[in-house]
Structure 1
Amino acid sequence: MMCYSDFPIPEDYPNYMHNSKVMEYFRMYAKHFDLLRYINFKACVCSISKRPDFHISGQWEVVTEIYGKQEPALFDAVLVCTGHHVDPYFPLDSFPGVEKFKGKIIHSREYKHPEKFQDKRILVIGLGNSGADISVDLSHVTKQVFLSTRTGTWVVNRVSDDGYPLDVVHFTRFKNFLRHLLPTALINLWGEKKLNTRFNHENYGIKPKHRFLSRYPIAADDLPNAIIAGRVLMKPNIKEFTERGIIFEDGSREENMDVVIFATGYSYSFPFIEEGVIKTSANNIPLYKFVFPPHLEKPTLAIIGLLQPLGAIMPVSELQARWATRVFKGLIKLPSEDVMTADIAKKVKYNQKRYVPSQHTSLQVQYVDHMDELASLSGVKPNLLNLCLTDPRLAWEVFFGPCSPMQFRLTGPGKWEGARNAILTQRERIVRATKTRALQPCTDSCAISILVKVLGCFALFAVILAYL
């Protein structure tokens, strides 16, 4: 689900890859498409500024520094792909007495290995993915880990139904159709009941005040195991720091704390871009479809990856880039500034209504919806009705199977001939990495399976017509 659309991840790679495997995949991709000769490594971008004739040429002057030497270069267009995990966010002003604390304070960005924290008493602030993962990692070697959360969260399991990865099971067009069809209150009830079936969030001190769909959950399979074993102790928000301890809002306190880790996220900025090019408002950057500044005279600057999908960001960023490059070439024309500004305001209003306030509320998008929106702009969204009539087997997998990136290589610009086979074999690749001990196949349920598929084909037409 995180592969580039025309280069599936090797089938022997695990579904949830270690960072070293991710890096290997990137290197394979760059080698396959002969990209390394276009990459200037160790190059620091010092500035990006408009040319004096920008209103005519749309060109940019980019100054880079390599080994202490600065060099300017002229470019017809620029993609800024720094994302929103840029500057560590340290909300120290929110914690009275923190300046008195004698222990060590670091940001989660600095955390690499647990060994250096052996036999320490550690507080982790922030119950996001990083805070949960770091707490569990540390809990195996430290004296005690405390995890402080201000809001709580819903915790999902990476290993989902039938052992498939979470996004493979839930990021499908069919389930996305149901999400739009069913009342939000009903989906909240279903989601919360399903998550509490695994472990009661209230009993574990994690239950948030917000509903299931009001904020993105975290994937932390091992956190409840660490809590039930006492290796991680949940704590509320911090009231005050002392020289060697912390007082919490419920009146409890912990002394002799050695280390505090702020897993409080990141902020983003673009100090290298000429002032006025990127306009900010209340820590939000208004971008058309999260990509284009609407006020530029020429659409030759695109921001890639400045959004927060529930799922892999690589396929979203790829579709952003595919659309942006066609805009750069003049093959796609952007609407007027007024239309783009209205679209931005509409998305901001939707997010404010749907999600509880958070640092990145304005950046959140729904995976399938946003992928389809970008694909429609580029003319690469799969036509389900046409597939249903011409290739029912593929239509079934596209609609009921995971909405994998290869779906956006079936048609339109950049069509890839291998996309169909990659989609039809994706389930085999998903289980190949875990099925390293082969078992004899069971044939007892074959007849039932065939009957279900036949009946499903008839149902597919009706569902897709309703979906369209």
Structure 2
Amino acid sequence: MPPPPPRSLRVAVIGAGAAGLAAARELRREGHAPVVFERAHAVGGTWLYDDRQRHSSSSMYASLRTNLPREVMGFLDFPFAAAPDSVDARRFPRHQEVLRYIQAFVRRFHLHGLVRLRTEVLAVTKDDDEGSSNSGSWRVRWCRNAAAGDEEEQEQEEAFDAVVVCNGHYTEPRTAADIPGLDAWPPGKQMHSHSYRVPGPFADQVVVIVGASNSGADISREIAGVAREVHVADRSAPADTCRRLPGYRNLWLRSMVERADADGTTVVFRDGSSVRADVVMHCTGYKYSFPFLLTTTAGVDEGEDTPGSTVVSVDDNRIHPLYKHVFVPQLAPHLAFIGLPFKVIPFPMFQLQASWVAGALSGRIQLPSEEEMMEDVRTLYTELEAVGWPVRYTHCMKHSQFEYDEWLAEQCGGHAGRVEEWRKDMFDADRKKKVECPETYRDDWDDHHLLEQAYRDFNKYS
């Protein structure tokens, strides 16, 4: 029997960052009609810098540079190569260069006409009038953000055949809530890296940074240039850790914070030592947040389907239930999420996920049954529990991203391409160099043979 003719659907895409723009392109390539909703004034998502510390959806700080080489970062068929008009031609450029790359992607594939800027999605609901869980319209309620001096427009609602959620996960700060006493510290005495922009305000202060991952490492070194002391509390460090980091007279790596005095002055580490701190900064990551979707945050049995009134649950940063981090089994393929996995090379993964979603919506790609997808979700949870992987790391791809990318490519049947071997090798080399030379890995690299392979591949798209 011949396959059914492809379906062409009207699809709401929420977010015009790299994930949403990749989704828009792949959906249109597949014959769908995407509409991209973006609450900001321009495309770019997390790469759209905003120098405001408060009431900003941006998590960029002024000096931020990528922690991946540009050659690795780019979409599979749109190279991120230095150009004559680059604002930062380095291999590890500042955030402005990434934004320009995203803007170039929009121009190259004529996506601007698909994007509604300054338009915030308020609610997404399912219209079940047609009786089937996989049919019927989705209702998207939205409003246009008021421009300066203008009155805000009335809320409006539109019907769509499907919804693709691409709102990112770098806007809702996650703090170290398990530190006794810290909740009594006022906002001026503690902050999240989401609000950090420049080091100047920390001049001559004692700063405790909770978290030693990418943002914690970069921000602590920058602040050390002006602060009196900077203490980085690493949750994974042994309790007796207390050592000055090489090259700095005032930067210390410490064990995790044990408690904070409620008077807002003193921080005590696990080894019993303490410092009088002016500021505690949480470099502890972000929460998944979907305020426009009906969700629960706790108390859902992850071995069972979610209640009919709830789209997904978000419990300790696990979004349940999601098949392969993308589809809600009960509603697949008409509700999908793109860009949730972390510890990945994001843009190529966005492209592969988007191609999979677009093909599933058109009928070109057949998904397993709802029961089979739910069984896959339960199997994943069992495997993570068996190796002691915390719930909050459910969507972490630290050790499996390339297997996941390859699986996605196979599902897409070659429509989206594959992650090249040089890209994988360059990523692995960068990760190793970052550990060995955290101060210099961005500017002192030795992967010239991989760089040559990358640019040979790039010639195919010039």
Partner of 1:90 in structure 2?
A: 175
Question: 1:65 is matched by which residue type in structure 2?
Answer: C
Partner of 1:266 in structure 2?
A: 286
Match of 2:190 among 105, 109, 120: 105
Question: 1:11 is matched by which residue type in structure 2?
Answer: A
Partner of 2:250 in structure 1?
A: 231
Distance 2:188 2:373 in 1: 49
Distance 2:272 2:203 in 1: 28
Q: Contact 1:204 / 1:227 at 8 angstroms: preserved in 2?
A: no
Cα deviation code 1:15-49 (max 9, x no counterpart): 22211000000000001111111111111110111
CA shift, 1:290, in A, is 0.7
Distance 1:5 1:268 in 2: 26
Cα deviation code 1:31-77 (max 9, x no counterpart): 11111111111111101111233527442111111023211111121
Question: 1:74 is matched by which residue type in structure 2?
Answer: A
Distance 1:89 1:5 in 2: 31
Partner of 1:369 in structure 2?
A: 403
Cα deviation code 1:268-302 (max 9, x no counterpart): 12221145122445642221111000112x52111
Partner of 1:19 in structure 2?
A: 95
Distance 1:18 1:313 in 2: 17
Cα deviation code 1:87-121 (max 9, x no counterpart): 11123353225415796211110001111211111
Cα deviation code 1:187-213 (max 9, x no counterpart): xxxxxxxxxxxxxxx99869xxxxxxx
Match of 1:248 among 258, 262, 269: 269
Matched, 1:344 2:377: yes
Cα deviation code 1:347-369 (max 9, x no counterpart): 22333344643632444351210
Partner of 1:64 in structure 2?
A: 142
Distance 1:229 1:65 in 2: 50
3-state DSSP of counterpart to 2:423: coil
Relative distance call for 1:356 and 1:51 in structure 2 (3 A) is: closer
Partner of 1:195 in structure 2?
A: none
Match of 1:287 among 322, 342, 364: 322
Q: Contact 1:103 / 1:258 at 8 angstroms: preserved in 2?
A: no
Once the two structures are superposed, the pairs formed by residues 186-335 of structure 1 within 5 Å of their partners are 226-242=245-261, 243=263, 244-255=265-276, 257-274=277-294, 275-280=309-314, 283-285=317-319, 286-296=321-331, 299-308=333-342, 310-335=343-368
Distance 2:92 2:237 in 1: 25
3-state DSSP of counterpart to 2:392: coil
CA shift, 1:429, in A, is 7.5
Question: 1:263 is matched by which residue type in structure 2?
Answer: C
More helix by share: 1
Question: 2:271 is matched by which residue type in structure 1?
Answer: D
Question: 2:249 is matched by which residue type in structure 1?
Answer: G
CA shift, 1:231, in A, is 2.9
Unaligned runs of 5+ in 2: 1-71, 84-88, 147-151, 295-308, 427-449
Q: Give the RMSD, CA atoms, in angstroms.
A: 3.3
Question: 1:229 is matched by which residue type in structure 2?
Answer: Y
Matched, 1:77 2:198: no
Question: 1:272 is matched by which residue type in structure 2?
Answer: F
What TM-score do the two structures reach when normalised by structure 2?
Answer: 0.65
Partner of 1:119 in structure 2?
A: 204
Cα deviation code 1:394-447 (max 9, x no counterpart): xxx955x33499xxxxxxxxxxxxxxxxx996444899xxxxxxxxxxxxxxxx
Q: Contact 2:318 / 2:391 at 8 angstroms: preserved in 1?
A: no
Unaligned runs of 5+ in 1: 154-201, 207-223, 385-396, 406-422, 432-468
Partner of 2:73 in structure 1?
A: 2
Relative distance call for 1:229 and 1:46 in structure 2 (3 A) is: same
Partner of 1:34 in structure 2?
A: 110
Relative distance call for 1:29 and 1:149 in structure 2 (3 A) is: same
Question: 2:189 is matched by which residue type in structure 1?
Answer: K
Q: Contact 1:11 / 1:430 at 8 angstroms: preserved in 2?
A: no
Relative distance call for 1:106 and 1:382 in structure 2 (3 A) is: closer
3-state DSSP of counterpart to 1:49: strand
More strand by share: 2
3-state DSSP of counterpart to 1:251: coil
Question: 2:322 is matched by which residue type in structure 1?
Answer: L
Distance 2:367 2:457 in 1: 38
Count how many residue pairs are aligned between Structure 1 and Structure 2.
333
Match of 2:223 among 124, 132, 138: 138
Relative distance call for 1:147 and 1:262 in structure 2 (3 A) is: same
Q: Contact 2:128 / 2:136 at 8 angstroms: preserved in 1?
A: no
Distance 1:203 1:281 in 2: 32
